[in-house]
A and B are shown apart, each in its own frame.
Chain A
Amino acid sequence: MSNSNSHATGSPYAPQTAAETAAMLDVVGADDLESLFDVPESVAFDGEFGIDARSERATRREVAGLLSRNADLTEFLGRGHYDHYVPSVVDDLASRSEFLTSYTQYQPEVAQGFLQALFEFQSMLVELTGLDVANCSMYDDATALGEAATLSQRVRSVSGDRILVPEHLREGKRAVLSNYAEGPDLTVESYPMTDGVADVPALADEIGDDTAMVYAESPTVRGVIEERLGAIGDLAHDHDALFCLGSDPIALSLLERPADVGADVVVGDAASLGTGTAYGFGLGMFVTREEYLRQVPGRLVGASEDAADRRAYTLTLQTREQHIRKERATSNICTNQAWVALRTAMHAAWLGPDGLVDLAEDCVTRARDLADRLDDIVGVTAPIHGRHHFREFLAHTDQPASAIVADLAADGFAVHAVDDHLVQVCVTETTTDATDEFVAAFREVAK
């Protein structure tokens, strides 16, 4: 093993020298390291994993070599995972080891900094949604939606076991929801959409007293801004069902406040702020009404006072959680995405309210402008839904979508194939500069 530091054998992060190890064994009263293991012979492992140790430099080179096999594409991709510019100061501050290498704040007196940062994160989500209580993260939008479905079963005012979701829903999100729905025996059913938005009369036909939760998204997975959220919320409440709304913090900076359309729970992915594209790595938002506080999954940071009567922060209402309530906990979640939430709060604060609103407005106009340009191409209709869009939209192509995707990839661009002749295109400030080339390439492949 070619280590560059003085620990020539073993783990480079185990600092005991051979002499120290011998002395420590002596103190413990053991002959050697092996004798410290109380493992029966019959199950002891005496083989090798066959994993060669590499130097730090060699490891980095190996990862670089592997990842060089990823094609260098300019991604006009979205559908729940978005690339927004993350300022350097976020990387810099979040990388401080006091944040990065700390644990869950079970000793709040030495974790005031992270607790305050999470308290600020929760507060930002409260402002964005108009609801009262935000937890300090779930894994991603899909698992947050799953948790919302199980919440519906713990809320006394709700009866029923059907979860209604929009016809246009990311497959992965629905698959996760189905897994969460299995334990409490919930059924997940779709309600139809018309021209990109919820078909409210059809939803009215679908919904019944056996409905536990109605889920809607704005923007939808297709980037359409939902226009009748208030009516959907009313329908849900008329049937004693929860109204759960999916969105993200950038969209919420501009769109109707969830509280104003009757949302009981807001879920979604917040990593679009603070973390760029990361192969689907996310940050689940979970925000709800105060009346459901004791049923909220995950960790909550609250303000209290210390013995000197000064304001102090602490994890609170932990009797909801698995380490205390065990099988009666509101969720099994323990490790969450706290550090991702820290980054999101930093990014939101860096933008400030002006920056957030500007960014959200750009998400509307950039999608509109790009759709207009693609619509000018012969063989392309964009957007296919005559609605307002956020970041992304669907385009109909006379050529098969699979051919469009493959041909664009050959030109260095990525878009989604959604159906035989439907592609989805997403644009943000990180791809705006490439738009001219993208449109030119699209014109060629659409022929």
Chain B
Amino acid sequence: MPQTSSWRRSGRWRNDTRLALLGETPWDKPRPASFTLDTGVSRVKYDQARWTDDSDDLYEPLLSEKTSKTVDIEDSPLPDDLTRDSLSLPDPAEPELARHYTRLSQMNYGVESGPFPLGSCTMKYNPSFTEDVAARADAAIHPGRPDSTVQGTLALCHRLQDYLGRIGGMDAVTLQPPAGAAGEFTGIQIAKAYHEHNDGERSEVVIPDSAHGTNFATAAMAGYEVVELPSGDDGRVDIEALEAAVGDDTAALMLTNPNTLGLFERDIEHVADIVHDAGGLLYYDGANLNALLGRARPGDMGFDVMHYNVHKTFATPHGGGGPGAGPVGVREELAQFLPNPHVRERGGNYEHYEPANSIGKVHGFYGNWPVLLKTFAYIARLGDEGLRDASAKAVLNANYLAEQIEYEVPFGPFHHEFVASAGEQDAADAAKRMLDYGVHPPTTKWPEIVDEALMTEPTEGETRRSLDQLAAAFNAVAGDSDAELADAPSRPAAKRIDQVTAARNPQLSWQALDDT
């Protein structure tokens, strides 16, 4: 692979650091339960008092196993033939409920628990104050109100549309899509509407093989054939392959830039020309926008449509899988196709209107409003300077971390994330072993262009100290044996979980649990 040597640096500094770390840290095996990675400055460790309900060898039983009650439906205000017979559900008192969920939270790892370098996911710190903003009583309004009574909400939406447009270099923005994939669906429906409006239907969407799975699924959901584009040897779009793939049937090319290897598509203008010359549109997947804030804008690169992942770039919390929001920006010519309704300003007042050739709706109401409020608050807090700095520090952190780890990083120069190779190790096993060192592992085994990929995105939120600790965890795993990796993890709430049995014998509710 190209550039291997230049991106597999082995500076003395790193080795020295590792030696210093090793000298200060008890690596003897097996790891004691209180094992922590430590730079050696402070050695205060403790085991918190922890009450356990381990009668059944479980840290926390199911609610249904603690308390359950069946209520018969009798004397209801409805005729019997319109009601169910009974309802059986857990019935905990509030103190029990509080303890149940507190204990569940103790078995969960979040951004505030420690380093979370999950590639492609931008697990950055979520500022607390945005929660207070979203929880405001005057934000808790009903979507059925007339526009004249929600001027504050519409004004805020309008300002956020404007901000996102400036950040992406886009002329118009919809806030309706409730997630990144919903944003993709919106963007591809817009592309479809554009073609139907102009030159008739097109049947294909071109997507690089290194793209997020959602791109392929979105194109298929919108009724398109997917044309998969093989990556070039340098990890970027292969121009010859692109020229061969793009033609009269091409509705759009979906591209992530920087791509999932963290590499900027240097030929982006050429790529845009090829797609545009064929009459197609260029779609920007905003998953990696945290790399570029204030440095480059999709609109300036030639992209026609883009989505923003506000739960990545703009620090709204991931919430264990959601909610997010996936606003979509378009250039002027495509604004007529935006979802209904869109917010505009008229003489100092704000109103919903239906764009002339709207694709219709992608959410039953107006999208994930509380998430959008947090987005607005984050952007306002940071401003130009903060947004630029966030990207710069995210890129710095990724480069610094890569410099400290022993795994090979075959592709560069990368930006906010890099993809290391676990080499002879199984990347998924290496990830499990990292859990024993107290950090969340990277994304594994993807993109496939890197063998045993460890896709790593530390974000701007880590300090140099925590990056050193994270690197020590990577390097400790790199030095562990295959047997140690295969047995990992030993420290978290659960040991390695049997995925095969889970899929072969699905038990998806407490009602379905095997009586064993």
Contact = CB atoms under 8 A, between A and B. Distances in A.
Contacts of B387: 11, 49, 51
B493 A109 contact: yes
B363 A127 contact: no
B396 A24 contact: yes
A199 B107 CA distance: 51
A73 interface: yes
Interface string B46-85: 0000000000011110111000011101001111011111
Contact of A66 (B152, B163, B321, B462): B152
11 contacts: A12-B381, A24-B397, A80-B365, A98-B110, A105-B321, A107-B109, A255-B78, A279-B153, A307-B498, A321-B213, A353-B69
Nearest to B145: A414
B241 interface: no
B380 A59 contact: yes
Contact of A10 (B140, B300, B379, B385): B385
B125 A13 contact: yes
A333 B361 contact: no
Contacts of B432: 107, 109
A184 to B, nearest CB: 7
B294 A45 contact: yes
B376 to A, nearest CB: 7
Interface stretch (A168-176, A206-214, A236-244, A376-384): A168-176
Given A13-B390, A100-B110, A141-B364, A54 B380 contact: yes
B353 interface: no
Contact of A98 (B113, B321, B368, B377): B113
A97 B222 contact: no
B320 A44 contact: no
B179 interface: yes
B222 A66 contact: no
A235 interface: no
A368 B77 contact: yes
A137 B400 CA distance: 38
Contacts of B81: 256
List of 3 A-B pairs having minimum Cβ-Cβ separation, nearest first: A280-B365, A53-B383, A10-B389
Nearest to A71: B149
Interface string A290-302: 0001000001111
A405 interface: yes
B386 A1 contact: yes
Interface stretch (B36-44, B95-103, B473-481): B95-103
Contacts of B365: 80-81, 140, 172, 279-282
B193 to A, nearest CB: 10
Interface string A80-123: 11010001010111111111111111111111111011111011
Contacts of A107: 109, 431-432, 435, 440-441
A424 B379 CA distance: 38
Given A67-B138, A117-B101, A277-B142, A124 B463 contact: no
B301 interface: yes
Contacts of A154: none
A6 interface: no
Interface stretch (B22-30, B181-189, B244-252, B276-284): B181-189
A14 to B, nearest CB: 4
A317 B214 contact: no
B442 to A, nearest CB: 10
B418 to A, nearest CB: 12
Given A100-B317, A335-B311, A323 B97 contact: no
A353 B91 CA distance: 7
Given A14-B393, A24-B396, A127 B88 contact: yes
Nearest to B71: A353
B217 to A, nearest CB: 4
A260 to B, nearest CB: 7
B355 to A, nearest CB: 13
A300 B509 CA distance: 10
A364 B492 CA distance: 47
A176 B140 contact: no
Interface string A371-398: 0000000000000000010000000000
Contacts of B159: 66
Interface in A327-356: 327-329, 331-340, 342, 346, 348-350, 352-354, 356
B19 interface: no
A332 B152 contact: no
B423 interface: no
Interface residues of B, number: 203
A25 interface: yes
Contacts of A173: 364
A42 interface: yes
A87 B422 CA distance: 48
A44 B376 contact: no
Interface in B135-171: 135-136, 138-146, 148-153, 155-156, 159, 163, 166-167, 169
Contact of B178 (A139, A253, A364, A414): A139
A175 B461 contact: no
A126 interface: yes
Given A67-B138, A114-B108, A335-B322, A310 B494 contact: yes
Interface in B320-369: 320-324, 326, 340, 359-369
Given A36-B396, A63-B156, A100-B317, A306 B495 contact: yes
A357 B71 contact: yes
Interface in B201-222: 212-214, 216-222
A106 B495 CA distance: 14
Contact of B497 (A27, A44, A109, A114): A109
A71 B9 CA distance: 61
Contacts of A15: 461-463
Given A302-B507, A350-B97, A414-B144, A331 B221 contact: yes
B373 A327 contact: no
B364 A282 contact: yes
A14 B466 CA distance: 13
B223 interface: yes
A349 B63 CA distance: 8
A120 B510 contact: yes
B489 interface: yes
A385 B102 CA distance: 47
B62 A10 contact: no
A36 B399 contact: yes
A79 B213 CA distance: 35
B127 A137 contact: no
B151 A176 contact: no
A119 B509 contact: yes
Interface string A22-61: 0111011110010011111011110011111111100110
Contacts of B371: 281
A353 to B, nearest CB: 4
A78 B132 CA distance: 25
A361 B77 contact: yes
Contacts of A400: none
A38 B502 contact: no
Given A182-B189, A257-B84, A13 B400 contact: no
Interface string B264-281: 101011000000000000
Contact of A13 (B443, B460, B501): B460
Contacts of A64: 136, 138
A45 B169 contact: yes
Nearest to A78: B144
Interface centre among B109, B110, B370, B508 (most CB of A within 10 A): B508
Contact of A350 (B94, B155, B269, B499): B94
Contacts of A99: 101, 104-105, 108, 110, 319-320
A432 interface: no
A75 interface: yes
Contacts of A1: 383, 385-386
A288 B84 CA distance: 18
Contacts of B440: 103, 107, 110
A52 B323 contact: no
